[in-house]
Amino acid sequence: MDYFNYRENTLFAESVSVNDIAQQFGTPCYVYSRATLERHYKAFTEAAANHQHLVCYAVKANSNLAVLNVLARLGSGFDIVSQGELARVVAAGGEPSKVVFSGVAKTAAEISYALSLGIKCFNVESEAELERISHVASQEGLVAPISIRVNPDIDAKTHPYISTGLKENKFGIAISRALEVYRHAAQLPGIDIQGIDFHIGSQLTEVEPFLAALDKVLAIVAQLAEYGITLKHLDVGGGLGVAYLAEEPPHPSTYVSQLIERLAPFPDLELVFEPGRAIAANAGILVTQVEYLKQNQDKHFAIVDAGMNDLLRPSLYQAWQNIIPVSPHEGDTQQYDIVGPVCETGDFLGKDRALCLTQGDLLAVRSAGAYGFTMSSNYNSRPRVAEIMVDGDTVHVIRKRETIADLYQGENTLPA
Ligand code: LLP
């Protein structure tokens, strides 16, 4: 559930008219709802209330400081994949002691920075990385808290680009090697074994793959205990899907409670979640204006002011996101391709959408709060758009629209 609803035939974000936001701040812009973010976060924590847990919101989904700050105030931890994301968490008031560091290519500098801040855990993705972390920590006279990200070889049944838990994917350490790697890690001077971790993919719409992965990983936890390696936490990654179209993903509470049931034999094992999309996607929309309507032969195009550089998911994954009029009006409905200004045939936000449109209309692309702004770029030298957060009846600009000058700030021509 989210807080984007029609009132008197116009779309509202919480108690603010989206039309008013567009008039005041221009288009395109991302609009987020604080209440929705909070509601989604609490869906996880409330369902997990009876078991020791930590929700580490996946920063990559939406890394705006205001978004991170809203979650940090609720006590959220964070899953990060770069020094930049960690710096954002700190700038937003997040606690490093609640940060888990994922990602396959952590540099020595990133490891050192994260160690100096005292993060909760490095999610180790390879044996070479384990050696590097131990080395960096030892050099600094520190011990690095780690968990091994195991690749459980489970089919997440999602888009191949966002499936990560199959043995052919680049992520994690083969589960068959897990015991050996843990026993080696236990010998390394700069390593303090804390947990175990998996992440099998994103936009999963069933609980079964999570449970299958969890069962495999719990078997490892039990075997490690026999070797005298007692883990403090188990990190189940992120990946819970949302409804973009007709998907029916489990509610976070169903997902969380089913995972927790499996943990009954491990009452002391803290459960860590890394949700990104399930918290942020439906907490945001992308507002765009129709610049032109155009008909080529039988095809109707609505050319809008937002493009693939602003919202890449439709072009990159053929992802379907709902596109709705901000203020619906009477008239003939056509099947429109909603296309952007970028010079690429792949630049579309949606295809074959039945809409009644006139030039100047505002459209809202739903479910754009996750992997929207964070995947945006300046392609075609288009300034990145403004981000707005609505909190009840108050509107905050949480990232101002880039200017043309911002585009080439930092660039230099060669000397004469
Ligand atoms: N943890 C790890 C280690 C991850 O790699 C990811 C996402 C997450 C957590 C959060 O997953 P979520 O709960 O959001 O599914 N750009 C794609 C999604 C890529 C996800 C990458 N990893 C999209 O727009 O669909």
- Output the tens digit of pLDDT for each of the chain's 416 residues: 899 999 999 999 999 999 999 999 999 999 999 999 999 999 999 999 999 999 999 999 999 999 999 999 999 999 999 999 999 999 999 999 999 999 999 999 999 999 999 999 999 999 999 999 999 999 999 999 999 999 998 887 777 666 676 777 788 899 999 999 999 999 999 999 999 999 999 999 999 999 999 999 999 999 999 999 999 999 999 999 999 999 999 999 999 999 999 999 999 999 999 999 999 999 999 999 999 999 998 899 999 999 999 999 999 999 999 999 999 999 999 999 999 999 999 999 999 999 999 999 999 999 999 999 999 999 999 999 999 999 999 999 999 999 999 999 999 999 99
Ligand 1 environment, Cβ below 6 A: 58, 61, 79, 102, 162, 199, 202-203, 237-240, 274-278, 313, 317, 370-371
CA dihedral (225, 231, 233, 237) in degrees, to 10, reads -80
User: How high is the pLDDT of residue 105?
Assistant: 95
Phi/psi of residue 118, each to 5°? 80, 55
User: How high is the pLDDT of residue 116?
Assistant: 98
How far, in Å, CA of 352 to CA of 99, rounded?
A: 42
Kindly report the protein residue whose alpha carbon is nearest to atom 9 of ligand 1: 238
329 CA to centre of ligand 1 in angstroms: 37
Residue 107 structure tokens: 């540099």
User: How high is the pLDDT of residue 369?
Assistant: 98
Q: Which fold has domain 103-273?
A: TIM Barrel (3.20.20)
- ipTM confidence: 0.99
Every domain of the chain and the residues it spans: 4-32+281-407, 103-273
How far, in Å, CA of 299 to CA of 338, rounded?
A: 11
Ligand 1 atom, smallest distance to 203 CA: 15
Which pTM does this prediction carry? 0.97
What would you measure as the largest C-alpha separation in the chain, in angstroms? 72
| In contact, 109 and 140? CB cutoff 8 Å | no
Question: Could you confirm whether 56 is annotated as catalytic?
Answer: no
Query: Hey, how many other C-beta atoms are within 10 angstroms of the C-beta on 211?
Result: 17
CATH of 4-32+281-407, one of 2.40.160.50, 1.10.287.1080, 2.40.37.10, 3.90.650.10: 2.40.37.10
237 CA to centre of ligand 1 in angstroms: 9
371 is in an annotated binding site: yes
274 is in an annotated binding site: yes
239 CA to centre of ligand 1 in angstroms: 6
| In contact, 276 and 61? CB cutoff 8 Å | yes
Residue 81 structure tokens: 């994949």
Ligand 1 atom, smallest distance to 313 CA: 24
User: How high is the pLDDT of residue 171?
Assistant: 85
How far, in Å, CA of 360 to CA of 19, rounded?
A: 12
| In contact, 371 and 61? CB cutoff 8 Å | yes
